[in-house]
Structure 1
Amino acid sequence: MTPSEPAALAEKDAKRSAPAAGSPAAERLAALRAELARRGVEGFLVPRADEHQGEYVPASALRLAWLTGFNGSAGMAAVLPEAAAIFIDGRYTLQVHTEVDTGLFTARHVTEEPLSGWLTETLKPGQRLGFDPWLHTEAQIRRLEKTVGALGAELVALAGNPLDAVWRDQPAPPQAAILPHDLRYAGVESAEKRESLGKGLADKGVAAAVITLPDSIAWLLNVRGGDVERSPLPLSFALLHADGGVEWFVDGAKVGDALVRHLGNAVSIEAPERLAEALDRLGAQGAKVLADPATAARWVFERLRAAGAEVVAGADPCLLPKACKNETELAGTRTAHRRDGVALARFLHWLDGEAEAGRPLTEMAVAGRLAALRGENGELRDLSFDTIAGSGPNGAIVHYRVSEESDRALQAGELFLCDSGAQYPDGTTDVTRTVAIGTPSAEMCERFTLVLKGHIALAMARFPKGTSGSQLDSLARYALWQHGLDYDHGTGHGVGSYLNVHEGPQRISKVPNSVALEPGMIVSNEPGYYKTDAYGIRIENLVAVVESPRGPGEERDMLAFETLTLAPIDRRLIQPELLNADEIAWIDAYHKRVRETLASQLEGAAQDWLEAATAPLGA
């Protein structure tokens, strides 16, 4: 599943249609503008975010989708009396034009045409631009304050979200039960994590840290929940104290007796509305309190400052230890990928057979079949994201989501891109395979092989400790660059352990990132190529960062990648003459490992198919 990165905005704004009078989108926009006028502000910002600032939000917080129709995982709308815009990244430059009435909302690429530029064009001196301080981070608002102030306008924190006042059928907040995450999966007791991180706070003279990211809290307390789709998150807030104790602000209806016993006496359960009181108490003590400006809501910072606390801006202390998986978590993810690999092999065998027989297949039917096969292993808890099943031109939409309106048949001579993943109690998977339906064109094979070369270059990389993903990104693009080609998303994102399929702080991307790759981190390796209105190609495996033994004469400690994903790469799309000997050796060795790991768990025709699909390239 691709991470975000800048891209050129598709030239579809020229095709904007005029807004349909009386359409639901027009009525909602008009209602919001009326509510803003009632509150004495001219404008308002609507991010795709909830109070926790994570990628995964419940239905009750999908305000951007309700207002605009946009269903991507990142974006923001800005509304003024005479203008409105929606800001998206390189994954969604095509999708936004199919979901949003661009006669109402001008579609702008967030990097090439940022919010600051739009405000400079449209926000007038003296106007008041409102925002919900729960839905923006401290860092975001600090940047906006500079932009808005320079225009002679005012940025105003609103009490209560005006959009909620006009969203009449807004869903209720989720109340899924929270369960212990067993030590056989977590590997380290919650008490040990809390005490270690608490000592780190004490060493810096910090009394407490405000934890607002649901996956950080889930990792810290060894719990999992179900408040959002596709990721086992309980929505809550926490205060981690220097003595290792935790105040957990969570809806008590989600907490059962078994969970209380699991947490122990050092974790107190508090009602969510008591967070303000707890921050005020720390402020009254003049305490030093850590909060992450990149992830915590502006409200948190303002409350602490108003109460008299000394706010220490710093990274969420859970981020790095959560990213560096322990041996139990790594063993679990290897098991999860073996289990997932069997389902993928059965799926790819079925897909080949159906296509060869000329049976009608649609994107929705194929995605459903894959989900069903994953479910047959008995360990599936959920998908890790909505399956991206793009045939032909739909494959060129990087984060395509099939619907009844967009569903199309898989056709001979086309490519089918399937990006999917699963949540198992021992690990999270994410894999993309691009498959030929019938006979592919020479161009398809050439570009698939160029993408494969980039994938192999990254998979084979050895690099010194201290290297960031940004320093490795060009390895995956080099072969494409030599042919004047590229892709407009990151090459790799971090992945959680039965947590978020997108996890930081590490990533592999053109976008600068100073976080060094460390042993135990899991990242995706997913270069691609997309030809608009024709086809898409992506090859994605998950890899773990591991130590690489020193060879003779080597002076530096080196790291490398262990490939976790086990699924054949379509040999029909590979042009061996474009590969060098090392690349051919890598693909043959990878396929041998896939075959030896999975074959014994398949039967009959599926086993025969796997043997052929993983045969050496020269065979």
Structure 2
Amino acid sequence: MKNIKERLTALRSFLKENSVGAFIIPSTDHHFGEYIQKHFSCREWLCGFTGSAGTLVVTEHKAALWTDSRYFVQARQELPGSEVELMKMRIAGTPSIPDWIKGEVSAGSFVGIDPMLFSKGEFETLSGELYPLKVKLTDDPFKEIWRDRPPVTFNKATLEDISVGGCDSKSKLKLLCQKLNIEKDFIYILCSCDDIAWLCNIRGTDIPFNPLVISYAAFTKEKIYLFACAEAFSKDEESVLRNSSVELYNYSEFPEFIKGFNQDYIRVAPIDKISVKIFNDAVSSGAAFFSDPVRGGVTASQKAVKNSVEIDGFRKAMLYDGVAWVKFWIYIEEELQKGAQNLTEELLAKKIGEIRAQHSEYKGESFSPIVAFGENGALPHYSPFGNGPVKILGDSFLLVDTGAHYPFGTTDTTRTFAIGNLTQEQRRDYTLVLKGMINLSMARFIKGTRGASLDFLARGAVSSAGKIYTHGTGHGIGHNLCVHEGPQSIRMEENPVPLEPGMVISNEPAIYEEGSYGIRIENTIMCKKWVENRYGEFYEFETLTLVPIDTTPVDKQLLGAEAIQWLNSYHSYLYEKLSELLNQREREWLSVKTLHID
């Protein structure tokens, strides 16, 4: 931990030189992405915590990290000796970041932030909550104190064909302008790389696990302006973009472009997705600003509703991924039957990637794979890498959560396998998690229903045992884009976005017994129209995932007849779909795994 203390000391020297009493370091980049290049891993570099979500605050004498329940155990393991105190978000007695800062710094002090890493909305909220302290916009301190900081890298980009995405950029631009319905001239500012990738039909490899191009964009009623690494596109690709109403500029030109754009044009953006710095640039000429009232922005809301071509692509991706899972599960069983003593979490995490890579259209993992045996399964975002070899030996659960990108769709699936003999409590917990997943899968609901209204269908089964899981039940999933996509969600917390036909979302209830085991079963589901009658329009879910579910731990009486019927139908359907793509041995194996239970 010597390096950590030296780094904190260096930051404190910077703060003192700039008259800043506290500095806030989030876990994002200039585009507010979940996954970031190493260049932006400043919080990790400063305190050693490697989780993907967390905010670090450093004052003259103290440092504290706020993170959510997914990372409590991980943070306790990684922070000791660093002097950084763990603050458990949403737990009674944990102070908010503003309240903690106000208790640690003297009146009249400045609280520093990098204006490229905070949205305009976050800045306004923070300024209000910190009052009477003032927020000071500072230069990035890590330019000075992180001597061997990795540079930002730009890679080759590709264009998504309309045969895969189903809609060209011209049509998307027209749709967005219709939804915005702004009579005056405007320029809409986009900082989010996944929104830009969707609008411009571009994909890349600039961001780990996300097929994105580091970019900014803006659009008017007539044209889209794309700011990316010019060398990332060939001349032919640039011509294709131009014919789609997309004009390419160099990434570094964006700040001056938005400063100098015709001041008679209203600047429009969602305030939660435009940085303070870019906002200030946009209005520096005195131009008016209008905040997009749609949660996450109009681009995100339209991106979330998949068209028929994208939906067919998802179904195709699930077929290929289902085949990979079958081969993967067979491999696990055969290794265990041979009495393999060297089967480890890390080996399995690599193995499923190797199996997927046998398919020519596999593009890569949609997130870092989670393969967790026994007590490691109780860590929702556990990583099997860098912890030493953890062998799959003994009696417990093996939790595997992994996903893939194909040109036509993205997958995210979790299965929990019974290894050896289980206790009655483990069987009960497994059955309740499965029951919760099935309950949500069978939901039918009226148009306008929000995810929070459906969450208890999954969570209630777990709650019936006096247990909870503290993460959401469902997140949106992008079409060969980010595996975590908004604005829709299924979680306890209120989200005003209603579920709409074409929205693809995860369904992943869980139980975590710290120090013992974890269980999570996750399918990908899609909202679609069920029926329309005199009461209104009703929706239901289509389960897209085609991966068998381990039935050996199931308590049939506890699961119940209705859920058993759903499970049997699901297994019959996936056998029908997958068997055509399997060899004889694999088909015979799958026929056993999908046998009906009664």
Q: TM-score, normalised by structure 2?
A: 0.96
* Residue type at the aligned position of 1:528: A
Whole-angstrom distance in 2 between the partners of 1:336 and 1:181: 16
- Among 583, 586, 589, which residue is 1:603 paired with? 583
Q: For residue 253 of structure 2, what is the aligned residue in structure 1?
A: 274
* Residue type at the aligned position of 1:319: A
- Is 1:70 aligned to 2:49, yes or no? yes
Unpaired runs of at least 5, structure 1: 1-19
Describe how 1:404-419 pairs up with structure 2 within 5 A.
404-419=386-401
State the SS of the aligned residue for 2:346: helix
- The runs of at least 4 consecutive aligned structure 1 residues that moved more than 6 Å come to none
Q: For residue 248 of structure 1, what is the aligned residue in structure 2?
A: 226
- Is 1:585 aligned to 2:537, yes or no? no
Query: 1:355–1:437: 8 Å Cα contact kept in structure 2?
Result: no
* Residue type at the aligned position of 1:562: E
Q: Give the C-alpha shift of residue 305 in structure 1.
A: 3.1
State the SS of the aligned residue for 2:367: coil
Q: Give the C-alpha shift of residue 148 in structure 1.
A: 2.0
The superposition leaves residues 59-108 of structure 1 with CA deviations (integer Å, 9 ceiling, x where unpaired) of 21111111112222221111100111111112111111222246421111
Q: For residue 11 of structure 1, what is the aligned residue in structure 2?
A: none
Whole-angstrom distance in 1 between the partners of 2:179 and 2:474: 29
Q: Give the C-alpha shift of residue 287 in structure 1.
A: 2.5
Q: For residue 139 of structure 1, what is the aligned residue in structure 2?
A: 121
Q: Give the C-alpha shift of residue 608 in structure 1.
A: 1.9
Q: Give the C-alpha shift of residue 370 in structure 1.
A: 0.9
Q: For residue 346 of structure 1, what is the aligned residue in structure 2?
A: 327
Q: For residue 438 of structure 1, what is the aligned residue in structure 2?
A: 420
- Is 1:217 aligned to 2:200, yes or no? no
The superposition leaves residues 245-295 of structure 1 with CA deviations (integer Å, 9 ceiling, x where unpaired) of 01112121222213202212532222233222222234x624311111111
Describe how 1:520-531 pairs up with structure 2 within 5 A.
520-531=502-513
Whole-angstrom distance in 1 between the partners of 2:388 and 2:23: 32
Query: 1:355–1:438: 8 Å Cα contact kept in structure 2?
Result: no
Whole-angstrom distance in 2 between the partners of 1:503 and 1:263: 25
Q: For residue 381 of structure 2, what is the aligned residue in structure 1?
A: 399
Q: Give the C-alpha shift of residue 406 in structure 1.
A: 4.6
* Residue type at the aligned position of 2:281: R
Query: 1:25–1:101: 8 Å Cα contact kept in structure 2?
Result: no
Whole-angstrom distance in 1 between the partners of 2:80 and 2:188: 42
Q: For residue 409 of structure 2, what is the aligned residue in structure 1?
A: 427
Whole-angstrom distance in 2 between the partners of 1:108 and 1:406: 27
- Is 1:616 aligned to 2:560, yes or no? no
Q: For residue 80 of structure 1, what is the aligned residue in structure 2?
A: 59
- Among 551, 555, 561, which residue is 2:535 paired with? 555
- Among 214, 235, 256, which residue is 1:235 paired with? 214
Q: Give the C-alpha shift of residue 581 in structure 1.
A: 1.5
Aligned residues: 590
Q: Give the C-alpha shift of residue 317 in structure 1.
A: 2.0
State the SS of the aligned residue for 1:400: coil
Whole-angstrom distance in 1 between the partners of 2:307 and 2:519: 33
Higher relative contact order, chain-length normalized (CA < 8 Å, sep 6+): 1
Whole-angstrom distance in 1 between the partners of 2:575 and 2:340: 27
* Percent identity of paired positions between Structure 1 and Structure 2: 34
- Is 1:156 aligned to 2:136, yes or no? yes
Q: For residue 29 of structure 1, what is the aligned residue in structure 2?
A: 8
Per mean C-alpha deviation after superposition, the further-off stretch among 339-348 and 35-44 is: 35-44
- Among 316, 326, 329, which residue is 1:335 paired with? 316
Whole-angstrom distance in 1 between the partners of 2:580 and 2:266: 58
The superposition leaves residues 332-369 of structure 1 with CA deviations (integer Å, 9 ceiling, x where unpaired) of 01000001000001111111222233212100011111
Query: 1:418–1:432: 8 Å Cα contact kept in structure 2?
Result: yes
Query: 2:47–2:82: 8 Å Cα contact kept in structure 1?
Result: no
Whole-angstrom distance in 2 between the partners of 1:59 and 1:510: 33
Describe how 1:316-327 pairs up with structure 2 within 5 A.
316-327=297-308
State the SS of the aligned residue for 1:467: coil
Describe how 1:111-510 pairs up with structure 2 within 5 A.
111-112=90-91, 113=94, 114-150=96-132, 153-158=133-138, 160-201=139-180, 203-243=182-222, 245-265=223-243, 266-282=245-261, 285-314=263-292, 315=294, 316-360=297-341, 361-510=343-492
Query: 2:20–2:110: 8 Å Cα contact kept in structure 1?
Result: yes
* Residue type at the aligned position of 2:408: D
Query: 2:159–2:202: 8 Å Cα contact kept in structure 1?
Result: yes
The superposition leaves residues 400-458 of structure 1 with CA deviations (integer Å, 9 ceiling, x where unpaired) of 01123253111221100000000000100000000011122211110000111110110
Q: TM-score, normalised by structure 1?
A: 0.93
State the SS of the aligned residue for 1:141: helix
Per mean C-alpha deviation after superposition, the further-off stretch among 199-208 and 518-527 is: 199-208
The superposition leaves residues 195-244 of structure 1 with CA deviations (integer Å, 9 ceiling, x where unpaired) of 2223444535351110110000000011101101111000110111122x
- Is 1:44 aligned to 2:15, yes or no? no
* Residue type at the aligned position of 2:539: L
Query: 2:66–2:86: 8 Å Cα contact kept in structure 1?
Result: yes
> How has the CA–CA distance of structure 1 residues 204 and 579 changed in structure 2, closer, same or farther, with 3 Å as cutoff?
farther
How big is the alpha-carbon RMSD for the aligned residues of Structure 1 and Structure 2? Answer: 1.5
State the SS of the aligned residue for 1:92: helix
State the SS of the aligned residue for 2:468: coil
Q: For residue 554 of structure 2, what is the aligned residue in structure 1?
A: 574
State the SS of the aligned residue for 2:72: coil
The superposition leaves residues 475-515 of structure 1 with CA deviations (integer Å, 9 ceiling, x where unpaired) of 10112212211101000000000000000000000111000
Query: 2:304–2:476: 8 Å Cα contact kept in structure 1?
Result: yes
